[in-house]
Amino acid sequence: MNGLGNDFIIVAHFESVPDYAPQMARAMCDRHFGIGGDGLVFILPSEKADVRMRIINADGSEAEQCGNAVRCVAKYAYDHKLSFREALTVETMAGIQHVWLTIEEGKATQVKVDMGAPILRGEAIPVAVNAENVVDHPIEADGAAFAFTGVSMGNPHAVIFVEDAPRFEVEKWGPVLEKHSLFPNKANVEFVSVISPTEVEMRVWERGCGQTYACGTGACATVVAGALTGRIERRALVHLKGGDLEIEWSETDNRVYMTGPAEEVFAGRWHKA
Ligand SMILES: N[C@H](CCC[C@H](N)C(=O)O)C(=O)O
């Protein structure tokens, strides 16, 4: 499945995450010797929600949250009758996500997710900056100077505003910034250019998988960072390499709502030993 080209291998027949999950993710996500994907997603039973999601990045590291994967999991749960409601809940390591599905011809097409409230205090993101909000904070890497705004949606993000995101050298600066000493748990790094107060372009280097076509939590972090720094409004359209996400950081409940597509591409069997 994928959300705007951010693609995942979904497995739904485990009761819990096996201890060999990191090796399984690295093998299955390999785009030449495996199936290929940005991550391996387990759909598990839950006592608190309709289903539970755990996500392992392509490098075998586990992430606390994944916006595009939540949309895929919710679609899978409805389409494969793990849930019969168009409004359902997905338990993640970041909390319980409420999800609303748009159904067309019996299948979920568009998915809206309550991604919860952003975490902005430096040591909770975490970033090695002792501040309630980490806004346009200087960061140096390989002799270049940037300014990042730190936001967690359960997973850590460093949002950097640049002149022209689609032409930015993500492959050069992403890996250096992902592992910067300011980020104790590493970070997903978003490069964002503002088109208008309600529209941005974003490219992303993701922790544990590299440059991806889209990042749901990254799009949420982008709108929060943009609104915090007065660059954009709290509701914006985020243009990503793989398509668009609608994001709103609600003024009334402080929660971030993400709306976008989810797609099932194929199903199959994994035969490798
Ligand atoms: N690589 C991310 C997890 C996937 C997040 C992204 N794919 C999304 O849609 O939110 C991390 O290690 O925090």
The stretch 208-234 carries a mean pLDDT of: 98
pTM of the full structure: 0.98
Among 46, 80, 115, the domain-final residue is 115
175 to each of 54, 66, 81, 208, 211, how far by Cα in Å? 24, 19, 40, 10, 9
The stretch 144-149 carries a mean pLDDT of: 98
Structural domain total, the chain:
2
Range of the domain at 63: 2-115
Is 89 close to ligand 1, i.e. is its CB under 6 Å away?
no
Whether the CB-CB separation of 174 and 211 falls below 8 Å is answered with yes
Whether the CB-CB separation of 156 and 125 falls below 8 Å is answered with yes
Check whether residue 225 and residue 127 sit in a common domain.
yes
Check whether residue 143 and residue 103 sit in a common domain.
no
Ligand 1 pocket check: which of 209, 245, 256 to mutate, most ligand atoms within 8 Å of Cβ? 209
| H helix or E strand, kind and range, residue 223 | helix 216-228
Give the pLDDT confidence of 78-89 residue by residue, as tens digits: 999 999 899 999
What is the reported pLDDT for 213? 98
**Confidence band, pLDDT 50/70/90 cuts, at residue 272:** confident
| CATH number assigned to the domain comprising residue 165 | 3.10.310.10
Check whether residue 26 and residue 132 sit in a common domain.
no
Measured in degrees and rounded to the nearest 5, phi and psi for residue 167 equal -105, 5
Check whether residue 212 and residue 94 sit in a common domain.
no
Give the pLDDT confidence of 150-201 residue by residue, as tens digits: 999 999 999 999 999 999 999 999 999 999 999 999 999 999 999 999 999 9
Q: Which two tokens stand for residue 32?
A: 């030449």
Check whether residue 138 and residue 91 sit in a common domain.
no
What is the reported pLDDT for 165? 98
Check whether residue 91 and residue 127 sit in a common domain.
no
Mean pLDDT score of the chain: 97
Site of tokens 């909770």:
124
Is residue 215 among the annotated active site residues? yes
pLDDT for 273 beyond 80: no
The stretch 225-251 carries a mean pLDDT of: 98
C-alpha 110 to ligand 1 mean position (Å): 19
pLDDT for 13 beyond 90: no
C-alpha 220 to ligand 1 mean position (Å): 11
**Confidence band, pLDDT 50/70/90 cuts, at residue 145:** very high
Check whether residue 151 and residue 104 sit in a common domain.
no
Look at residue 272 and tell me if it is in a domain: no
Check whether residue 133 and residue 101 sit in a common domain.
no
What is the reported pLDDT for 29? 98
- 25, exposed or middle or buried, with CB in 10 Å at 0-12, 13-18, 19+? buried
Whether the CB-CB separation of 51 and 73 falls below 8 Å is answered with yes
Going by the annotation, the residues of the binding site for substrate are 6, 57, 67-68, 155, 188, 206-207, 216-217
